Amino acid sequence: MATTADILAAAALGEDSDWEFKSAKGGFPGSFWETYSAMANTDGGTVLLGVSEKGGVVRFDGLTPDQINRYKKTLWDGLSNKGQINRNLLSPSDVREVTLGSNGGSATLLAITIPRAGRTERPVHVGQNPFGGTYRRRHEGDYKCTDEDVRRMIADASPEPADHRILTGFALTDLDAPSLAQYRQRMRAARGEHPWLSLGDQELLERLGGWRQDRNSGEAGLTLAGLLVFGKDNAIRDPAAAPNYFVDYREKLDPAVRWTDRIYPDGTWEANLLQFYTRVWPRIAAALPTPFAIEGGMRKDDTEAHIALREALVNALIHADYSAKGGIVIEREPDRIKMENPGTLLVSVEQYQRGGVSECRNKAVQRMFLMIGGGEQAGSGAARIRTGWQSRSWRAPWIETFSDPDRVRLNLPMVSLIPDAVIAHLRSRFGTRIEGLSADELQALATAVLESAVSNARLRSLTTLHSSDITKLLQGLCDQGFLEADGYGRWTNYHLPPAGGNGVRATQTGTGSGAGSSGPLGLSSGPLGQRSGPMGPAAASPAETLWGGVDAGGLGLQPGMEQQLRAIAMPIASKGKAPKADVERVIVELCTGRFLTGDQLSRLLDRSAEKIRKDYLSPLVEAGRLRYRHPEAPNSPNQAYTAGGQS
């Protein structure tokens, strides 16, 4: 027997890969092609033939030389057959034999590394019909794409950007004249007396990409980009334009108030992208400190952090898929800003972080904001955002992707790398043991506290370590009892063990957490307050102090806890039907002060797990009343929920 960690270390294929284990005892697995499609359409991955997995235990079954030769031939024959798979993404170096030790012997496996398909290569599908033959990867499974998903992939693959579409039946009268006038003013401020400013509205729009003529068909008219940036609200949401369009700014600065400010299409303003940008930018910019500085005899208010924040805001607008469900959501809280847009990333998360490749879904919208000083066109956006945040010594921004519906979220925490409260909390949990940790190990634990979990990918954005070194670091912290692991491969997340559970308990020796004590990085720390709740008295966690959430309990029910929770759930569990608001209220109450999984809530409420997740948990997370234990992996089978936001 061997663990996943054994395979990762021995095969040196990297923990950030998506894995699929197939025994292949009975021949080349027919399900391989669905996995090939799914991995290619998501973020790539590796299929290992000759490995079986049962109950979380991985066994090296191995393959004979004859099997390996036959399977290689079957693979290459299939890749050359359009009736089997429509696109070959593999090169010979992607198919290799790997020999691993197993129970004193060795086993030879066939490792097939499937790259992520490029924007113009998707959808990769089984058979000749993309509708019904296209798959995507979610956690460990291959899921068939809906026809809507496939249509969006086909649209993204087109050489013509989505916002270049000419809107039949629309005219300049569908645009908001004050928005066009305001744009001219902003362009003059950014570009001086630019020649385009002397042009009429239609000619200016032609230069910007807001009006164009198709040279092949002769059709001419307003483009989707022109309508999105300058249009009237009702025209934008016309079924022939962008019926799913929605923009929303939510400000949560007072815990006693659901929204301290909110901007959305309420009929009092023309909710095009330009007006949304001009209303939202001053509000999120106000979250950043502005030091007094003089440059050229004038006060300079644009810091590196401001430039980064503006880049992030414009990125959300230009990369959104306006045909997808859901809208653009910008949230400001006291210690973080989140920017979320509908659609998928057109590059991998790794490529996004590296930069240098500009894949923009709405190039005309990008040009329009570029001309008024917003955004970059050279693929340097992610690096610029990171640099701006580093200038404030804040935790590195990170990006999350979601499915059902497809969404991308950029998290911009305005919290120092390792706040004093985190040092105090870790010292209260682990005593003097944390004094022997390296700075990178301490960073891993701090991330697990502040963000509920830490992963290989997240730690790469915070340190200079290589992926394989991070794997060893995280596994070492698990071996020492500082962390626990959930899942494997791309979805491996590490979190602190439950307080008083199987993890290492806090000791009473050492420096303690008194005021003025110093942690391993020389940070002073003060005592944390105490709280009481269903789990008993415990130190308030930094997650509660800094993020407004709760860091209590684990994934399992504690002894004596089930009776108390069943009493809370009884008003719902005893009824066949109950008002949705009542069910939501009880779920939030059950999740207050602890994390509960969907399956646990299903048993407590006597409702199907699927219904609980779909009808209640997802909407409650979206509304901010619940939050994930593992926000970077929403579809993790180990996902759990706790009360967060306003109930």
Pair 349, 43: CB distance under 8 Å: yes
Q: What's the chain's average pLDDT? A: 81
Pair 314, 341: CB distance under 8 Å: no
Any idea which of 12-26, 258-272, 310-324 has the lowest mean pLDDT? Answer: 12-26
Condensed to tens digits (0 to 9), the pLDDT of residues 7-45 reads 554 444 444 557 788 888 889 999 999 999 999 998 898
Instruction: Looking at 363-490, list the stretches that DSSP marks H as alpha helix, in order from N- to C-terminal side.
Output: 363-370, 381-390, 420-430, 439-450, 456-460, 467-479
State residue 409 phi and psi, 5-degree precision.
-125, 130
């087109």: which residue's tokens? Answer: 158
Taking the CA atoms of 597, 600, 605 and 610 in sequence, report the sign of the dihedral they define.
positive
pLDDT at 316: 94
- Please name the CATH architecture into which domain 4-146 falls: 2-Layer Sandwich (3.30)
What is the rounded CA–CA span in Å between residue 304 and residue 118? Answer: 32
Collapsing DSSP to helix, strand or coil, 255 comes out as coil
Pair 382, 446: CB distance under 8 Å: no
How sure is the predictor about 511, in pLDDT bands with cuts at 50, 70 and 90?
A: very low
How sure is the predictor about 520, in pLDDT bands with cuts at 50, 70 and 90?
A: very low
What residue type is assigned to position 551 of the chain? Answer: D
Residues of the chain with CATH 3.30.950: 4-146
Paired residues of 60 in beta bridges: 51
Collapsing DSSP to helix, strand or coil, 49 comes out as strand
What residue type is assigned to position 105 of the chain? Answer: G
Condensed to tens digits (0 to 9), the pLDDT of residues 69-97 reads 999 999 999 999 999 999 999 999 999 99
Condensed to tens digits (0 to 9), the pLDDT of residues 595-618 reads 888 888 988 888 887 788 888 998
Q: Is the pLDDT of residue 480 over 70?
A: yes
């959501």: which residue's tokens? Answer: 329
| DSSP state for residue 79 in the 8-state scheme | H
User: What DSSP assignment string belongs to 562-623?
Assistant: HHHHHHHHHHHHT-S---HHHHHHHHHHHTTTS-EEHHHHHHHHTS-HHHIIIIIIHHHHHT
Residues of the chain with CATH 1.10.10.10: 420-540
CA distances from 584 to 255, 434, 555, 580 (A): 20, 40, 20, 6
What residue type is assigned to position 157 of the chain? Answer: A
CA distances from 639 to 129, 338, 493, 553 (A): 35, 21, 10, 14
Condensed to tens digits (0 to 9), the pLDDT of residues 523-543 reads 322 222 222 332 233 333 433
pLDDT at 547: 33
CB atoms within 10 A of CB 467: 15
pLDDT at 600: 85
With 0-12 / 13-18 / 19 or more C-beta atoms within 10 angstroms meaning exposed / middle / buried, residue 119 is: middle
284 φψ region: left (φ > 0), alpha (ψ -120 to 50), beta (else): alpha
Q: Is the pLDDT of residue 137 over 90?
A: no
| CATH match for 420-540 among 2.40.50.140, 1.10.10.10, 3.40.50.300, 3.30.365.10 | 1.10.10.10
Paired residues of 400 in beta bridges: 409
Collapsing DSSP to helix, strand or coil, 32 comes out as helix
Pair 517, 524: CB distance under 8 Å: yes
Average of per-residue pLDDT across 415-442: 88
| DSSP state for residue 498 in the 8-state scheme | P
**Residue 428 C-alpha from the chain's centroid:** 31
**Which of the given ranges, 319-333, 462-476, 505-519, 596-610, has the highest pLDDT on average?**
319-333
Nearest 5°: the CA angle 302, 303, 304 is 125
pLDDT at 501: 46
Any idea which of 58-62, 174-178, 505-509, 585-589 has the lowest mean pLDDT? Answer: 505-509
**Residue 347 C-alpha from the chain's centroid:** 14
Q: What is the Cβ-side half-sphere exposure of residue 146, based on CA atoms within 13 angstroms?
A: 8
Condensed to tens digits (0 to 9), the pLDDT of residues 374-405 reads 876 555 677 888 888 988 888 889 888 887 78
CB atoms within 10 A of CB 53: 17
Collapsing DSSP to helix, strand or coil, 558 comes out as coil
CA distances from 506 to 500, 539, 636 (A): 9, 11, 29
What is the rounded CA–CA span in Å between residue 189 and residue 33? Answer: 55
In what helix (H) or strand (E) does residue 507 lie, and over which residues does it extend? none
In what helix (H) or strand (E) does residue 532 lie, and over which residues does it extend? none
Share of the chain above pLDDT 70, in %: 80
Alpha carbon dihedral 645, 426, 480, 534, in 10-degree steps, equals -50
CA distances from 550 to 133, 337, 595, 636 (A): 43, 19, 9, 20
Residues in CB range of 305: below 8 A, 6 or more apart: 288, 388, 389, 391, 392
CA distances from 535 to 47, 448, 499, 589, 601 (A): 43, 20, 10, 14, 17
Condensed to tens digits (0 to 9), the pLDDT of residues 107-129 reads 889 999 999 999 899 999 999 99
Pair 436, 447: CB distance under 8 Å: no
